[in-house]
Structure 1
Amino acid sequence: NTGAEGLLEILCRGLERYARQRTAILLGDRSRYVGLSDIAKMLDCPRAALAARLFTPEHRNTAEALKRRITFHRGHWFETGVHQALVGYGLSPLSQLEIEIMYGDVPIKAHLDFTLVTGQPHPTVRILEVKSTARLPTTLSESYAMQIGGQTALLKACWNHPVFNLVLDTGEVLHHRTFPEICNECYGVSLPEASACDIQGWVLCLSMCDAKAFGPFLPEDTDVARCLDMASDFWETMHDLRENKTNLNAVQTAQGLAPLCPSCFWKEDCPRFKGFSHPEWEAALAQLINLKTQKKALEEEIGELESRLKVAYQLSHTVRGEWINTGKHTFRVIPQNGRVTLDRKRLNEELETLLGEQDARTLLARCEKQGEPFERLYAIRMEKAELQLDSLIKNT
């Protein structure tokens, strides 16, 4: 109804407006520098990274825009929650500490979500980067690893240089301080040289109901020169795009089966998906994607109902294995043995101990079996979105 649609419109536009205000206050004009998040996105897809900096997608309906906005904004909500957890534990984190440097003529900024500092029992610095994920990853992506690694490496490299900025809770801004000066002003902590401090970076991934930490990342683990060279490439290409010296579709796209392609803002006219036109297959593909969406929702609903019935069975105090009759149906819960799996890594270690590295590899290779080739259907819904040149860039 009109009232419900109006409420969703308010929510969507309000989140958009708040995001712009928050970005302006904490991150400034992002068209005037390269952020470490830009460099990280370059690893996933250079074209998408540059498009995100140059254009703003304008969705044609509120529902799609709201879905995108909530997904984007969820990261900010998680940051607030993590800050509350750190403070609740008794810690005093520095929020959004900024490192501002020039690499040749390329302005670069790194924004550290949370920085924790202590001088006792020994000088320690921890950088915490918060990431919102639909589901927790098994391993950390290369882009996230580069971002946290770059933050950690830059903090150590710039330790005694006046390139640190911080907005305090009072609204006061500390500009162009060294890192020890920031820590002394905020905490009263006197830090020695960076080489005498224990510096680590960590990534905290959060889903809607769980969390997982990845680390530690040490300053020496990241190729800083590679980060800076990628920043130069990003800056140069961005200026070429703004001045129409090159076209967005000439920029390299993601390689291989990129997991972010289905949710990418910029996939509709991406050269990676350029192919032959067969509009007669549109209905079949739309039906397939719709059925897959329904299947996923049904599987989640089935899992939830099964969990509730298992709990109800336990609370009924029925003898284990006994049936419960509900009228036209009956059910019970019985224990099952866990699935037996082969720990390939452990097996390889044991074989290397017994046979040596080369013989172990040979034996494993003889025991491997290649499955039959198969074909995979890879279908993506191409949402229509109008691209508008970012007003921040138009005004520069």
Structure 2
Amino acid sequence: MRSGNRKANTLLAQLAKGLLRHSAQETAVQLGDRSQYVGMSDIGKGVECMRAAIANKLGLGQRATEQSIASWFQQSDFDRIYKALTKQLVLQRGHWLESGITNALQANGTNILMQLEIMADYKGVPIKAHLDFALVWGWPQPTVRILELKSTERIPESLYSAYETQLYGQLGFLVECWNLPVFNMRDEHGTLVFEKLTFPQAVKQLFGFPFPEKPSSVDIEGWVLCLAMSEAKAFGPYRPSGMMLKACKKTAESIWNGAKEISNGKNNLNDIPYCRGFHPLCDYCNHSSSCPKFEGEELTDAAYDDELTLVAVLKDEKRDLEDRISKKEKRIKAFYAQQGRASVWLKTAHYRFKSTRQEGRKTVDMTKLELALINEIGEQRTHELLAVSAKYGQPFERLHIARI
């Protein structure tokens, strides 16, 4: 741990144990037994790595528990306790931010359905979509906005495909199940607010105004709201897509049936397709230690480990330095804005500075473009055009280092 003081380490161990217990309780209250259905986060994971998604569904992998914290404490293994604590702080941060966002939206008088659950079925596969927030209003046009909240260390330039897939699944099942009695909602204590209603019935019961019986009469969008401790960025809008819903269903089927085959001894986890290319989330995967992707020759010379440790430390220092620079720049920008003199240079004894607003970088959303082209000219012609239009940069070497 960060301190040699046993009393301090005891306090941190208690915090880690409490966070793990709270996390298990929250999951049971809001999401139920996740082994009994395929959720949207499972589908998002499956798009990126089917092996990891199936392993999660089977409950495999290395995860800290209350019992392991107690065992590590008895062994005075405070480093492992601290690692478990830091991971829980990252995971729990999303729940804490969600509470704050709820308060902000309620302060605005917004009509909110929180943790709305949609129960669906595809070829015998039980599927559930849990919507962080569904905002509704009936005037001047009936409208639904789905917000999927993501807590991140840094705001990404673009979203992971898992996040986008998760939101597309929520949008698709909302539209497909609109008039089916498959919508449920519980409060923060797990008490049912309503059960087995259609979406219009749920809106009527909670907010008292009628809602269209056809989703085609409603303006429906989805957004992914990424929050860091001092930054926020909204990605969207995303709209319901039949093609993306179909892909989500197929992925859910593959996860469910793949997990059953492994449970029945008909298949092996290492025979399941996995993410072969570089992916930053591989470092945080609970199943990376057994993944065929990382099989390799063991180097016994400690010098190699020392060298990699040094590189890892230097990269951590680099990230810390970048964070310090970013915070300093924000303070200077804020000071400049307070002067109320846009585009005017300010001078010190040795420097001059000003802050200007730049246009955002214009990029092409390949998913939207592909879907639009398919609707216009068909799938085969679309793939042909995208193939001949692709531009590739020069090959380069990239060093991947991840702690085991």
1:272 corresponds, among 290, 293, 303, to 293
**Match in the other structure for 2:119:** 100
Q: Distance in 2 between matches of 1:342 and 1:224?
A: 31
User: Contact 1:118 / 1:189 at 8 angstroms: preserved in 2?
Assistant: no
Q: What's the TM-score once normalised by structure 1's chain length? A: 0.79
Residues 267/93 of structure 1: CA separation in 2 closer, same or farther (3 Å cut): same
User: Contact 1:36 / 1:150 at 8 angstroms: preserved in 2?
Assistant: yes
**Match in the other structure for 2:306:** 283
**Match in the other structure for 1:2:** 6
1:55 and 2:33 are equivalent in the alignment: no
**Match in the other structure for 2:212:** 192
User: Contact 2:118 / 2:174 at 8 angstroms: preserved in 1?
Assistant: yes
- Displacement of 1:180 in angstroms is 1.1
Residues 58/219 of structure 1: CA separation in 2 closer, same or farther (3 Å cut): closer
- 1:83-232 to structure 2, matched below 5 A, reads 83-168=102-187, 171-193=191-213, 194-220=215-241, 222-232=243-253
Q: Distance in 1 between matches of 2:286 and 2:56?
A: 8
- Displacement of 1:52 in angstroms is 2.6
Q: What is the letter of the counterpart of residue 282 of structure 2?
A: C
- Displacement of 1:173 in angstroms is 3.8
Post-superposition Cα deviations, 1:70-107, rounded to whole Å, max 9, x if no partner, equal 11111111211111110011113111110001212111
Q: Distance in 1 between matches of 2:210 and 2:293?
A: 53
Which one is further off, 166-175 or 70-79?
A: 166-175
Q: What's the TM-score once normalised by structure 2's chain length? A: 0.78
Q: Distance in 2 between matches of 1:182 and 1:14?
A: 35
- Displacement of 1:262 in angstroms is 2.1
**Match in the other structure for 1:386:** none
Post-superposition Cα deviations, 1:87-143, rounded to whole Å, max 9, x if no partner, equal 011113111110001212111000011111222222111111111111112222222
User: Contact 1:168 / 1:174 at 8 angstroms: preserved in 2?
Assistant: no
- Displacement of 1:320 in angstroms is 5.0
Q: Distance in 2 between matches of 1:33 and 1:107?
A: 5
- The alignment-based identity, stated in percent, is 40
User: Contact 2:186 / 2:192 at 8 angstroms: preserved in 1?
Assistant: yes
1:335 and 2:365 are equivalent in the alignment: no
User: Contact 2:37 / 2:127 at 8 angstroms: preserved in 1?
Assistant: yes
- Displacement of 1:172 in angstroms is 3.5
- Show structure 1 runs of 5+ residues with no match: 324-331, 347-364, 383-396
Post-superposition Cα deviations, 1:6-63, rounded to whole Å, max 9, x if no partner, equal 1111111111111111111111100000001100111121122222332252456111
- 1:213-252 to structure 2, matched below 5 A, reads 213-220=234-241, 222-252=243-273
- Displacement of 1:341 in angstroms is 11
Q: Give me the CA root mean square deviation.
A: 3.2
**Match in the other structure for 2:379:** none
User: Contact 1:108 / 1:231 at 8 angstroms: preserved in 2?
Assistant: yes
- 1:305-320 to structure 2, matched below 5 A, reads none
1:380 and 2:394 are equivalent in the alignment: no
- SS state at 1:183 partner: helix
1:39 and 2:43 are equivalent in the alignment: yes
1:258 and 2:262 are equivalent in the alignment: no
- Which is bigger in relative contact order (C-alpha 8 A, separation at least 6)? 1
Post-superposition Cα deviations, 1:337-368, rounded to whole Å, max 9, x if no partner, equal 9899997979xxxxxxxxxxxxxxxxxx9xx9
1:292 corresponds, among 299, 306, 315, to 315
Q: What is the letter of the counterpart of residue 57 of structure 1?
A: Q
Which one is further off, 304-313 or 21-30?
A: 304-313
Aligned length: 350
- Show structure 2 runs of 5+ residues with no match: 65-71, 73-79, 339-344, 365-388
- SS state at 1:57 partner: coil
**Match in the other structure for 2:382:** none
- Displacement of 1:300 in angstroms is 3.3
Q: Distance in 1 between matches of 2:329 and 2:112?
A: 42
1:18 and 2:22 are equivalent in the alignment: yes
Q: What is the letter of the counterpart of residue 260 of structure 1?
A: L
- Kindly name which structure, 1 or 2, has the bigger radius of gyration based on alpha carbons: 1
